[in-house]
Structure 1
Amino acid sequence: MDLNTITAVSHPQTRSALPVWTPGDAWLAGGTWLFSEPQVHLTRLIDLTDLKWPALTITESHLSIAATCTISQLDALTCPADWLAAPLVSQCCRAFLASFKIWKTATVGGNLCMSLPAGPMISLTSALDGVCTIWTAGGGKQKIPVLDFVTGNQRNCLAPGDLLRQIDIPIAALKRRSAFRQISLAPVGRSAALLIGSLDGDGALKLTVTASTVRPVRLSFPRLPDAGALHDAIGQQITDDMYHTDIHGKPLWRKHMTLRFAEEIRAELLGATLR
C-alpha cells in the first residue's frame, strides 16, 4: 500500500546519524505491517537497512539476533548439534501466518515490536530467556528480558524514539531439552495458544505461555511437577483476565488449550527424562 502522507525517508548508516525523533516518525525494517494499511499519522520513515547489522552472531555465551534479521535468515541458521532446543527455531518460524515472500522481508524485531499475543518470535525468544538491547532516544542503552519487553496486546516498554537493536539468547538456554505445542482455529491461522517447555540439566522446568495470553507468561519449577501441581500453578499465575480474546479464539477455549498443552509438555519432558 502506498503511504501518501510520507514526505521524507531517512537512511542513517550509523547510530550517530539517526535523526532526532519527532511526531510522525516511524522506523522501517521489513515494513510488512507498516505498508499493509493506511498510516495517515506518519510523515517520515527512518530506514534501518543501511545500518547493516549482522543478522545472526554466535559467541561463546550468546546467539545475538539483530532486530533487522528476517524470518528466512533465522530459519536458515545452522545450529550446533548440542543445541537441543534448535527445533524451536523452525517451529516458531512456521507458526507465522505468512507466505515465503513475507518470510524474506518480515523481521524478528518487527514481530517483537508489534507485540501481538500471537507473535511467534516473542514465543521463541521469551522461552529461550532472550534479552532485548534497546537504543534509547536519549542516546543510552537499556537491556530488558523479552518477558518484560512485551507488556500487553500490542503494548511494549518502548518509549517514542526508542529502537530495538537486538535480542541475545544465552547458549545455555539453547542447550535445554524442549517441547512445543501450538494451535490455531484454522489450519494456517494465527496462533491461539503457543506453549514451550524446557528442562535444564538439573531437571528444572520452565514453561512459557504465549498467544493464549495477552503477554508472555513464565512458570518456573525447580523440578518437574506432577499434573495437579502444574494445573494449580497455571490457575494461580494466569488469571482469567490475562487470556486474550479475538476472532482467533475466546478466553475459555484458550485457557482450556493452555492447560491441555501444559500437561502434554510435562508428560513429554517426563518421558524424555525416563528414557
Structure 2
Amino acid sequence: MDINTITDLVPTADPAHWRPGDAWLGGGTVLFSYGSQSLQRLLDITRAGWEPLTVREDGLEIAATCTVAELYAFAGDLPAAAADWTALELLRPCCDAFVASFKVWNVSTVGGNICTALPAGPMTSLTAALDGQALVLSPDGTARTQPVTELVTGDGQTSLAPGELLRSVTLPATALQARTALRRLSLSNLGRSGVLVIGRVDPDGAFILTVTASTVRPVQLRFGSVPGRAELRAALDAAIEFPLYHDDVHGLPQWRQYMTERLSEEIRAELAADPQAREAAQ
C-alpha cells in the first residue's frame, strides 16, 4: 500500500519527539500493508539499540523491538539462568502461530504485534498468558507499567494514549516457572488463529487460563488451584459474554465459543494430571 504523505523518517525512541501526524515504526509489516493517507512522519525505533532479550533474576525482559526471529532463536539456546523457566516452551509455538515466512519473522517485532492489537496476535497471547508487564513511555517524560491483559482493550484497540511508546514487556519469573499447556485452532492448516488458549500452573499451585484469538481482547481466569470441569465452564461463561467473541472470516462467534470451552477443558485436564505420574508413564 502507498504511504505517500510521509515527509520525514526520524530515528528516535524518545516520545518527547512525537507530534500529531507521527507513527512509531518498528518492523512496519502492518503499517506498510495497510498504508496511510494522513501520516507525516515515521519515528524509527529500530536503531534505539535496545537489547532484544534480557534475562534477570526477576524475569525476562523482551524489548518492543525484539523480532520474532530473535525470540524463536532464544528459545533454542536458553542461558543457564533460565534453566528452570519451563514456561519458555511456549515461545516457539507462539512464534509458529504467526504462520508467516522468514521474511516477516526477521522484521516483525514483539511490540508491534502487541500494539497492533489483532485478536489473533500471538505475542499478545504469549505475554498475556505469562502475566507480562508492559513498560510504556509517555511524551511528558513519565513511564508506567500495565499488564498486557489490560493494554490490549479490543480488536485493534489499546490503552495507549497518542504518542505513547511500548518500550518492553517483562515476564515475571514466577510465571516462567509454571507448567503450561497450549491449544491453538484455525479453520485451515495455515490460517489465522481462531482460538488460542494457554493454561499454566504456578509453583504455588495456582491455575491461570488465558483466552485469546477467539475473543476481541485477552481474557484471563485465575484459580487458587486447578478447578473441576464444571467450575471452569461456569467461570468461562461468567467471564466471557457472547459479544466478546470475535466475528470475522476466520471464525463465527458460536464456533469460537464452543472451541474455547472445549480446548480450555483439554488444558484443564492436562494440567490437573500429576506430572510425576505422567513422567513415570512415559
TM-score (norm 2): 0.93
Which residue in the other structure is 2:108 paired with? Answer: 106
Q: Does 1:40 align with 2:70?
A: no
Superposed structure 1 runs of 4+ greater than 6 Å apart? none
The match for 1:5 is 5
Which amino acid counterpart does residue 176 of structure 1 have in structure 2?
A: A
Partner of 2:175: 173
Alignment partner for residue 194 of structure 1, among 184, 193, 196? 196
**Which letter does structure 1 place at the counterpart of 2:152?**
V
Question: Which runs of structure 2 are paired with 1:62-141 in the superposition (5 Å)?
Answer: 62-77=59-74, 78-79=77-78, 80-141=82-143
Structure 2, gaps ≥5 residues long:
278-282
Instruction: For 2:54, give the aligned amino acid.
Output: T
Q: Determine helix, strand or coil for the equivalent of 1:208.
A: strand
| Greater CA drift, 90-99 or 265-274 | 265-274
The C-alpha deviation readout for 1:147-188, integer Å capped at 9, x for no partner, is 110011110010110000000111121110000000011111
Matched with 2:280 is none
> What does 1:193-272 align with in structure 2 at a 5 Å threshold?
193-272=195-274
The answer on whether the counterparts of 2:91 and 2:126 sit within 8 Å (CA) in structure 1 is: yes
Give the stretch that moved more between structures: 18-27 or 2-11: 18-27
Please report the TM-score for the alignment, with normalisation by the length of structure 1.
Answer: 0.96
CA distance in 1, matches of 2:230, 2:137: 43
Query: Alpha carbon RMSD of aligned pairs, Å?
Result: 1.3
Task: Please tell me whether the aligned partners of residues 2 and 36 of structure 2 are also in contact (alpha carbons under 8 angstroms).
Answer: no
**2:152 is equivalent to residue 155 of structure 1:** no
SS, match of residue 50 in structure 1: coil
- Structure 1 counterpart of 2:117, which letter? S
Give, in whole Å, the separation in 2 of the partners of 1:48 and 1:81. Answer: 31
Amino acid at match of 1:37: Y
Q: Distance in 1 between matches of 2:17 and 2:152?
A: 25
1:26 aligned residue: 23
Residue range with higher mean Cα deviation, 36-45 or 64-73: 36-45
Shift of 1:49: 1.6
- Number of positions where the alignment pairs a residue of Structure 1 with one of Structure 2: 272
Query: AA paired with 1:65?
Result: I
Q: Distance in 2 between matches of 1:259 and 1:232?
A: 10
- The letter for the 2-side match of 1:140 is T
Contact 2:16/2:141 (<8 A) preserved:
no
In structure 2, what residue type is equivalent to 1:144? Q
Q: Is the 2:174–2:203 Cα contact (8 Å) retained in structure 1? A: no
| 1:55-105 C-alpha deviation (Å, 9 max, x unpaired) | 010111120000000000011113333111111000100001311110000
For structure 1, the 5+ residue unaligned runs are none
Q: Distance in 2 between matches of 1:66 and 1:201?
A: 26
Report the 3-state secondary structure (helix = DSSP H, G, I; strand = E; otherwise coil) of the residue aligned with 1:220.
Answer: strand
2:5 partner amino acid: T
SS of the residue corresponding to residue 85 of structure 1 reads: helix
Kept in 1: contact 2:87–2:179 (CA 8 A): yes
Instruction: Report how far residue 3 of structure 1 moved.
Output: 2.0
Query: Which residue is 1:58 aligned to?
Result: 55
Q: Distance in 2 between the 1:19 and 1:255 partners?
A: 43
TM superposition shift of 1:9: 0.9
